[in-house]
Amino acid sequence: MKRLLMTIGLVMALCQPFSDISGARLSGAAQAAEPGADEYAVWLREPGNRERVRLFEEELAKRDLLGVVPTYQILRTALSWRSCRASPFALPDRQLWDGAFRSLKVLKTEIVPRIGPVSIVSGYRHATLNECAGGAARSVHREFGAFDVFAIGALSRDDMIEHLCAWHDARGADLSAGLGIYQLKKFHIDVGLRGYRRWGSDYTIRSAPCAV
């Protein structure tokens, strides 16, 4: 039954349009076509990628973070990777990995227990892709410390917002966590790199659905 509810929630999320960070409308079918295991297998065959991912997954395993979501989701770059002519996946240099580990730990231990299963749709973005995708000049995505995430369980968007805002009120300052809540059931999280802050669909605090 739990697996059935998760599947229903994912299908409902995929059947609705949403906006990427640049504001372009994307259909649920476009989200479903975002890079998955097949595209990831192709990317892994590029020189050096498989070995680097092996080392990354070793570090995930040491921190009990392997399997929070599939590794290919952690390495997704941006919803607009095609239009920006960028790679669908990226793993930056090792010195940037700690930011990802901090955010993944919070996703695993504090976010998923509140809102259910998630799917990461954007992690590291290099400067050129970040600019093309409409990211802020100092976006934490450029440091591999941020993730854009969809809640894919059966909970409503209102319930997701309630749980995320309550979490951010209680834990955001201590964790120096940023929380952005976008359209449908998409949100942004980063931990420990830019401090406590929140924003909404226009990327300002004015549109943040959490009470200020």
CB-CB contact of 205 with 212 (8 Å): yes
Six-digit token string for 32: 């479903």
* AA identity, residue 128: T
Q: Specify the DSSP element, H or E, that contains 146.
A: strand 146-151
**What are 94-133's pLDDT values in tens digits?**
999 999 999 999 999 999 999 999 999 999 999 999 999 9
Buried residues in 56-81 as b, exposed as e (16+ CB within 10 A): beeebeeeebeebbebbbbbbbbbbb
**What are 3-58's pLDDT values in tens digits?**
443 333 443 433 334 344 433 344 333 453 478 889 999 999 999 999 999 999 99
Helix axes 49-62, 37-44, angle to 10 degrees: 120
Q: What is the pLDDT of residue 211?
A: 77
Q: What is the pLDDT of residue 77?
A: 96
Q: What is the pLDDT of residue 132?
A: 94
Tell me which of 88-92, 96-100, 151-155, 163-167 is least confident. 151-155
Measure the CA–CA gap between 24 and 2, rounded to whole angstroms.
Answer: 33
Measure the CA–CA gap between 56 and 60, rounded to whole angstroms.
Answer: 6
Q: What is the pLDDT of residue 33?
A: 41
Q: What is the pLDDT of residue 31?
A: 52
Contacts 24+ apart (CB under 8 A), 171-180: 171/110, 172/196, 172/198, 175/106, 177/106, 178/140, 178/146, 179/210
Q: What is the pLDDT of residue 212?
A: 66
Taking the domains of the chain in order of start, what are their residue ranges?
2-207
Instruction: Give the number of C-alpha atoms closer than 13 A to the C-alpha of residue 101, restricted to the C-beta side.
Output: 14
Kind of pairing between the strands at 177-181 and 197-199 = parallel
Map tokens 């919803």 to a residue: 79
Q: What is the DSSP letter of 36?
A: -
Alpha-carbon separation of residue 122 from 5, 44, 80, 137, 211 (angstroms): 24, 18, 10, 16, 26
Measure the CA–CA gap between 83 and 110, rounded to whole angstroms.
Answer: 34
Q: What is the pLDDT of residue 40?
A: 96
Structure-model confidence comparison of residues 164 and 212, the more confident one: 164
Map tokens 């993730």 to a residue: 147
**What are 47-93's pLDDT values in tens digits?**
999 999 999 999 999 999 999 999 999 999 999 999 999 999 999 99
Q: CATH number for the 2-207 domain, one of 3.20.20.60, 3.30.1380.10, 3.50.50.60, 3.40.50.2000?
A: 3.30.1380.10
Instruction: Tell me the average pLDDT across 173-192.
Output: 96
Measure the CA–CA gap between 160 and 40, rounded to whole angstroms.
Answer: 29
Structure-model confidence comparison of residues 13 and 172, the more confident one: 172
